[in-house]
Amino acid sequence: MARKTPEPVQVVKQRRDAALNALVGGVPYITFMGISFDRRGDELTGVLSFEDKLIGNPMLPAIHGGVTAAFLEVTAMISLSWAYIWEDFESGALDVEALAAGNLPRLPKTIDFTVDYLRSGLPRDAYARATITRAGRRYASVQAEAWQDNRDRPFAQATAHFLMPRPDPSGD
């Protein structure tokens, strides 16, 4: 895998997109919620596509608080997992084809999750980004923020702690 010349752009993009698709597409709940991820290099933005089934208060109407929480949790967990496997699939240690075939790495487990609701979620698309504030071998702390029209006016923010999957050579 010695790389003297830079890889062709298509190869890099194909590998990264395949890894991301495998990670996200492997989780049924993410599909059910209509959450997708926009990738720029290693930076991920969660996209929650609005649907009527996401409404929590039909009178306003507003997005369900549980949807907002779930969106932030999914964004935090995928961003953490993504950062965790990035080096491995970039170096070739993690085979992207195996990933795509469903041989996914174990996901981090949520220990606790706190969400602050700052304003009501409007019936339209929402976006979220997560920041890993600490990535230890066993525990990780992640913050996430979701917004709709204005990036500077988030409608919810969250803090979460995760238990990292243990690297297990037996493939557990």
Residues in contact with other proteins by CB under 8 A are: 26-33, 52-59, 64-67, 69-71, 73-74, 102, 104, 106-107, 109-117, 120
Helix (H, G, I), strand (E, B) or coil at 10: helix
Cβ pair 110, 73 in contact under 8 A: yes
Closer residue to other proteins in complex, CB, 32/139:
32
Smallest distance from the beta carbon of 131 to other proteins, in angstroms? 19
Q: What is the CA radius of gyration of the chain?
A: 17
Closer residue to other proteins in complex, CB, 116/125:
116
Smallest distance from the beta carbon of 157 to other proteins, in angstroms? 10
d(C-alpha 35, C-alpha 23), whole Å: 13
Closer residue to other proteins in complex, CB, 25/90:
25
CB atoms within 10 A of CB 76: 29
Smallest distance from the beta carbon of 129 to other proteins, in angstroms? 17
d(C-alpha 144, C-alpha 172), whole Å: 29
One-character DSSP codes across 25-92: HT-HHHHHHTEEEEEETTEEEEEE---GGGEEETTTTEE-HHHHHHHHHHHHHHHHHHHHHHHHHHHT
d(C-alpha 101, C-alpha 69), whole Å: 30
Closer residue to other proteins in complex, CB, 21/90:
21
Closer residue to other proteins in complex, CB, 90/94:
94
Please give the structure tokens belonging to residue 65. 């608080």
Smallest distance from the beta carbon of 11 to other proteins, in angstroms? 27
Smallest distance from the beta carbon of 116 to other proteins, in angstroms? 5
